[in-house]
Structure 1
């Protein structure tokens, strides 16, 4: 590995500040960002000022807080639009929605979590929709947990040893219980969730692998919990796995290469 230089350190600090806004859903202040990143307030303020000047962030003078700006929105939308995973999943999502009648989604693994890249919404009057481009943790919900299940063990432990946010009354935040669910998900090749990330929602997800056999993301079927019953999830399990396999092949994943699972 090349030794770090002043330029690379400064770039890494700036990137960490900007990524902090992807982890939150509200405006942030200098002190809060400095605590989260471990940077001094002076360094944090200089980075924020630079990002405001180039349009990546906006500064709210009334609250003295910062939020993502129009340039960041443009970059985010462009990143989703050109994503190889999104392109690879397009036709499979259309077919998955037709087969199940529920909303079909694809998520990409990103540092520290995952993001929804695309969805094909259910044509039913009452349906689930997801927020594209927003970062979600891996421990809550089927789309994230199936990704977590197929990460190498040391990366799993990095997640499980951190404080886990309880989003609903049924979010699993106990590391021991999570390890059991991850083991089951690896064995079954799918993960189920009822109300863990969002109250009243149910889903089933399968893993998507890249050309090198590592986990790249996940595909899911989601809908209102009263429709996503255990019986319905069992019925959709094969379709979800088939869609995930199809997307993996589109990404170049060869069937004779073992996946890089946490058990290794």
Structure 2
């Protein structure tokens, strides 16, 4: 095995460690991590030590469990400074939550999954929230219907794994039904879903389009109680559309 191959495998393992911590969002001991990743403990110690020295990981408690270190914060801050979409989206999400009292989100695609890039909880007593960075199957979401709205049927089939059409309650979304939802979202410029990932919620989403191509870059979204009146939903949808256009104009 060449030195280059060993180094490449070490990088792959480091990425696995970081992805695992991002997904679980809690510290873990190296022994437990080795079992979860099915990796030799000796090699993990060496990689973890390098990441700790760089501040990417840190020892989180007296038990020696590891988690993200302070350097990750500064990497994220540098990324945010270089991304006008995320900065503008964050500002609009905060504003929308403040003026409506509803939970507002900036949502994006990450691979073939949906995730919340930024969220601001609402002020109402019945507060709905979801964690940022958690990967969710696209068919479970209103934003997913908006973000895939310009794909062909063949592209959608190739992009989404069949298991992602099964909801948490076991109900399967038929592909034709989902495709109809995509076309409807594309035609009217927003999507509304009810009781999909959570039976108590309704999700409203509007695209932030690229000014040149028109393709959606991300979405703004409200998550509201399922029994929210139609008039209120329409009001919130219009706010999303207006805010999305504002962001799109800024980016141009």
Q: TM-score, normalised by structure 1?
A: 0.68
- How far does residue 168 in structure 1 lie from its aligned partner after superposition? 3.0
DSSP 3-state at the match of 1:236:
helix
Distance 1:58 1:93, change over 3 A: closer
Q: Is the 8 A contact 2:153 2:179 kept in 1?
A: no
- Determine if contact 1:168/1:199 at 8 Å carries over to the other structure: no
| Match among 51, 54, 57 for residue 51 of structure 2 | 54
- Measure how far apart 1:137 and its partner are: 2.7
Which runs of 4 or more aligned residues in structure 1 lie more than 4 Å from their structure 2 counterparts after TM superposition? 5-12, 20-34, 44-49, 56-60, 151-155
RMSD between aligned alpha carbons?
4.0
**Post-superposition shift, 1:206?**
0.7
Mapped to 1, the partners of 2:6 and 2:159 lie a distance apart of 29
Higher RCO (CA-CA < 8 Å; seq separation 6+): 1
Could you say what secondary structure the match of 1:149 adopts?
Answer: coil
Q: Is the 8 Å Cα contact of residues 104 and 221 (structure 2) preserved in structure 1?
A: yes
The equivalent residue for 2:77 is 78
User: How many residues in Structure 1 have an aligned counterpart in Structure 2?
Assistant: 238
Structure 1: where are the runs of 5+ without partners?
35-40, 61-65, 253-264
Which structure shows the higher helix fraction?
A: 2
The answer to whether the 8 A contact 1:136-1:144 is kept is no
**TM-aligned CA deviation for residue 205 of structure 1:** 0.2
Are the structure 2 counterparts of residues 199 and 161 from structure 1 closer, same or farther at C-alpha, using a change threshold of 3 Å? same
Partners of 1:48 and 1:211 in 2: CA distance: 48
Show CA shifts across 1:85-127 (max 9, x none).
2211244334433554322211132223233222333222222
Q: Does the 8 A contact of 2:205 with 2:221 survive in 1?
A: yes
Higher mean C-alpha displacement, 210-219 vs 51-60: 51-60
Q: CA deviation at 1:20?
A: 5.6
2:68 corresponds in structure 1 to: 69
2:137 counterpart residue number? 137
- Write the deviation string for residues 39-60 of structure 1: whole angstroms up to 9, x where unpaired: xx56x98478524641456899
The question of whether the paired residues in 2 share the 8 Å contact of 1:101 and 1:124 is answered with: yes
Contact 1:160–1:175 (CA<8 Å) still a contact in 2? Answer: no
Name the larger-Rg structure: 2
